[in-house]
Amino acid sequence: MEKKLILAINPGSTSTKLAVFEEENLLFENTLRHSFEEIGKFEKMTDQLSFRKELIVKSLKDAGFEIGSMTAVVGRGGLVNPIESGIYEINDLMLSHLLTAKNGEHASNLGALISHDIVKDYPSVKAYIVDPVVVDELLPLARLSGHPLIERRSIFHALNHKAVARLYATSIGKKYEDINLVIAHMGGGVSVGAHQKGKVIDVNNALNGDGPYSPERSGGLPTLQLAELCFSGKYRLNDIKSMIAGKGGMVAYLGTNNFKEICERADAGDKLADLIRTGASYQIGKEIGSMVAVLKGEVDAIILTGGMAYQKHNIDEITAMVKSFAPVIVYPGEDELKALAYNGLLAITGQIEVRTYKG
């Protein structure tokens, strides 16, 4: 029987990651880095579609792969309507919601858009998304914001959260559904979630101004001062949105969204870079502590993951703050490409149900 090839695509705020798997075996992997200057020229996230797609196609061609040889293309899920965890075949309603940014703009929106665009000339190649960032398992208490006109929303790095949670559970001989975890994904955005027996019952909105600041997001800002900026007459709505996500956080302080570069500057004696990187770790530690409280202190492990987890200073600062709560486990980077491809394999072989997005 011919082996099935699966292309996994994971667009992030500062990179596009792709991999080709022959069933469960990795054949090719590449990370396409995007500088702030490259992506800063695009006003909207969807404007990056052709730019990123062309880079992906060229990378695959250079490696000797053709789209028509794939059985499925699986993209990272974006800001669709809140849905259950699982795998979804990309349909017109989903594309419409993402193209119009119905629920907001985010790099993950490009996952479905690129996957669909790549396979549109190949009817036999299926296109899916898995565990989008709007997987919603919040407790009713976690939805309360403090004002009835604003409800807290579940927007986080669901795919990597779920992937590393299951990886850790397997490593200790348990099921994800039997343990409690606090997981901090630290990348272009930072999401810290309380995982209770297989459900993320509380998590900061990693996109729309909540939780710790990150390489390009401002996180939770003092609301009155933000309101004053909004009505100062100096900024348009899109300017304020960019301050919150895209041009906030470390890039606003230091002019770069490259955390590795920031750490190198700090190690070389740049005092402002050192303050900003340590401030990020400090805020992440605070957020982890709040999620420990959500779980009433019953935590099997605290997991640190994402690109920022490669930097020792960051890990050491956070660990010093939270190590008394539970063992701290570090999974640098993310296991998202493997998770995307594996779910795609289960779908095309009929081992899991493919869900229909109904909006």
- What's the mean pLDDT when you consider all of the chain? 94
Does residue 1 register a pLDDT over 70? no
Arithmetic mean of pLDDT, 9-29? 92
Please name the fold of domain 158-332: Nucleotidyltransferase; domain 5 (3.30.420)
Q: Using an 8 Å Cβ cutoff, are 103 and 81 in contact?
A: yes
Give just the sign of the alpha carbon dihedral 140, 145, 151, 156. negative
**150-169 tens-digit pLDDT:** 999 999 999 899 989 988 99
pLDDT of res. 37: 81
**Residue ranges per domain, the chain?**
5-133+336-356, 158-332
Phi/psi of residue 201, nearest 5 degrees? -80, -15
For 151, other C-beta atoms within 10 Å of its C-beta total 10
Antiparallel, parallel or unpaired: β 150-151 and 199-203: unpaired
**96-113 tens-digit pLDDT:** 999 999 988 888 899 999
Confidence category of residue 216, pLDDT binned at 50, 70, 90: very high
Phi/psi of residue 354, nearest 5 degrees? -90, 120
Does residue 341 register a pLDDT over 90? yes
**46-72 tens-digit pLDDT:** 899 999 999 999 999 999 999 999 999
> Coil, strand or helix: which one is 223?
helix
Percentage above 70 pLDDT, the chain: 100
Does residue 143 register a pLDDT over 80? yes
Query: CATH topology of 5-133+336-356 equal to that of 158-332?
Result: yes
The H or E element that residue 96 is part of is helix 92-99
Homologous superfamily, domain 5-133+336-356? ATPase, nucleotide binding domain (3.30.420.40)
pLDDT of res. 333: 87
Q: What is the pTM of this model?
A: 0.82
pLDDT of res. 2: 72
pLDDT of res. 84: 84
Q: Using an 8 Å Cβ cutoff, are 218 and 249 in contact?
A: yes
The first and second tokens of residue 323, run together, are 């190590």
Arithmetic mean of pLDDT, 268-295? 98
CA atoms within 13 A on the CB side of 247: 13
Q: How far apart are CA 330 and CA 59, in angstroms?
A: 30
Does residue 45 register a pLDDT over 90? no
